[in-house]
Amino acid sequence: MNKNKIITSVILVLIGGLIGYGINDKPQIIFENVQDQKSEVVEDNAPLDLTNLWKVYNILQTDYFDATVFNSQKQINGAIKGLVESVGDPYTVYMSSEENSAFKTSLAGEFEGIGAELSIRQGALIVISPLKDSPAEKAGLKSGDIIYKIGDEFAGDMNLLEAIMKIRGPQGTYVNLTILRETEAEPVELSIKRDTITIPDVDYKELEGDIFHISIYQFGDNTSLEFQNIIQKLLLENPKGIILDLRGDGGGYLESAVDVLSEFVLGEKEAVKIKYKDENKNYSLYTKNKGRLKDIPLVVLIDSGSASASEIVAGAIQDWGRGIIIGEKSFGKGSVQELDDLENGASLRVTIAKWFTPNDRTIQDVGIMPDQIVEFTKEGYEEGMDSQLQAALEALKIGNGK
């Protein structure tokens, strides 16, 4: 098993025992030759009885009426998924080779699908926002929509990863969604043609008064490099203020978040505390003494779609007093996952720690509360008005940025 990157993303939310018995090597042999045997895993000196697991597998394999639906690897994946889901943590997820490939592709900034950011709230699959100019936006999907059905399947029966995998698909194919919308008395049916979705990790534009608006859409593979390139361009313009927009940013790689923070302060400042079950493993990450933007007034925009890595950035800026936070309370994901690569392209995304802000605040299920609360209304958006961005611009004009 190879250790991969530390991730904090909420999007694609997204064993050990079974792996130890050679499932990765020859799964069909492992199960087909079992006859009421007991396998033991020593965990705190207590044996784990897997007799019923083998017995159920054998009964299904030999007696289940429709043999066409029985596939050893499919059942193995199902067993592992059930084991992982039993811990009750939506961020600890087993991903098959196909799901793992899609997850890594999305962090690289390109995938095939409809282009919408999703989350699960109170058991419902919610649209956080459709991406600009995406198939989802063009088909009429809106922020706040509840996806009730994907094709003929109820979305409420799926976890977030399963729902995303069903909505994604090859370019040119269609997915049918049944939507519940607050303003509509009846469900809305949408048929959306999938396309290749390319998401820049970072982009920017100049607003009035030499104030620049930098949007970070995710903390992915390319975020650090794209952010560095933008800074080089910005500094040539002598900016008078920066609006760092983290709205709808569901997270990503922890190191990318620290790289971004490093540009706003000088020296090696504590950016985030990582706390494990074993306190001896606890550590902090520090900024990297870059600070090219340290003297430029800063406002950070957040909303309910800002999660994990976004909250690390907003939380550190708030604790340092480096800028002011405007918008709505963030999502509240204070856990850290590690992506462990398994055999055959599969992976296990497992919660290994909790993170805390420099002032030792946890935001798990609480979120970051803005210094200035400004609600974003769908009516305003449809009229081309962004009240939160406007509030950030006004704050910088009157010198409230730090």
- In this structure, the answer to whether residues 186 and 210 fall within a common structural domain is no
- In this structure, the answer to whether residues 66 and 120 fall within a common structural domain is no
Q: What is the CATH number of the domain that holds 223?
A: 3.90.226.10
Q: What is the residue whose two structure tokens read 């081309």?
A: 384
Q: What is the residue whose two structure tokens read 């030499």?
A: 210
- In this structure, the answer to whether residues 265 and 375 fall within a common structural domain is yes
- Tell which of 66, 96, 126 closes a domain: 96
Catalytic residue among 224, 256, 308, 330: 308
Q: How many domains does the chain have?
A: 3
Sheet with 298-302, strands from edge to edge, namely: 202-206, 211-216, 241-245, 298-302, 324-327, 372-373
- In this structure, the answer to whether residues 186 and 141 fall within a common structural domain is yes
- In this structure, the answer to whether residues 278 and 384 fall within a common structural domain is yes
Q: What is the spatial distance between Cα 167 and Cα 12, in angstroms, rounded to a whole number?
A: 12
- In this structure, the answer to whether residues 165 and 32 fall within a common structural domain is no
Q: What is the pLDDT of residue 67?
A: 77
Q: Convert the pLDDT of each residue in 247-293 to its tens digit.
A: 988 888 889 999 999 999 999 999 999 999 999 999 999 999 999 99
Q: Beta strands of 254-381 (E only): which ranges?
A: 270-276, 283-286, 298-302, 324-327, 335-341, 347-356, 372-373
142 is catalytic: no
pTM: 0.73
**Domain housing 153:** 110-198
333 is catalytic: yes
The reply to whether 101 falls in a domain is no
pLDDT band, residue 70 (cuts 50/70/90): confident
The reply to whether 56 falls in a domain is yes
SS3 assignment, position 28: helix
Please, are residues 317 and 298 in contact by the beta-carbon 8 Å criterion?
yes
Catalytic residue among 256, 333, 335, 347: 333
Mean pLDDT of the chain: 83
Q: Convert the pLDDT of each residue in 124-151 to its tens digit.
A: 898 877 877 899 999 999 877 999 999 9
Query: Residues of the chain with pLDDT > 70: what percent?
Result: 85
Cα–Cα separations (whole angstroms), residue 196 to 137, 164, 169, 193, 223 = 14, 15, 9, 10, 20
The CB-side HSE value for 201 (13 A sphere, CA atoms) comes to 25
For CA atoms 318, 337, 93, 364, give the dihedral sign: negative
- Tell which of 43, 62, 96 closes a domain: 96
- In this structure, the answer to whether residues 158 and 231 fall within a common structural domain is no
Residue 241 phi, psi dihedral angles, 5° rounding: -170, 155
Largest CA-CA distance found in the chain, in angstroms, rounded:
76
Q: What is the pLDDT of residue 398?
A: 87
- In this structure, the answer to whether residues 57 and 137 fall within a common structural domain is no
Of 262, 326, 322, which is closest to residue 300 (Cα–Cα)?
326
Residue 178 phi, psi dihedral angles, 5° rounding: -100, 120
Catalytic residue among 218, 337, 347, 388: 337
337 is catalytic: yes
Q: Are strands 124-130 and 110-113 parallel, antiparallel or unpaired?
A: unpaired
The reply to whether 102 falls in a domain is no
